[in-house]
Amino acid sequence: MAQKLEGEIAPDFALTDTQGKTVRLSDFRGRPVVLVFNRGFV
């Protein structure tokens, strides 16, 4: 079972948005962030 890390700082990561811009989690530091992981259709 995964360890609960509530209250811990999340590791930074970067993804490319739909317009080709790189977005980093650290860009949102100090603001609430909701991550939605969607397991696309195969």
pLDDT band at 1; cut points 50, 70, 90? low
Q: Cα separation of 29 and 16, whole Å?
A: 18
**pLDDT given at position 2:** 67
Residue 9 lies in a domain: no
Domain extent, residue 40, equals: 14-42
pLDDT tens for residues 3-37?
Answer: 777 788 888 999 998 899 999 999 999 899 888 87
Residue 3 lies in a domain: no
**pLDDT given at position 41:** 66
Residue 37 lies in a domain: yes
Answering whether pTM is above 0.85, one says no
User: Under 8 Å CB-to-CB from 13, ≥6 apart: which residues?
Assistant: 24, 25
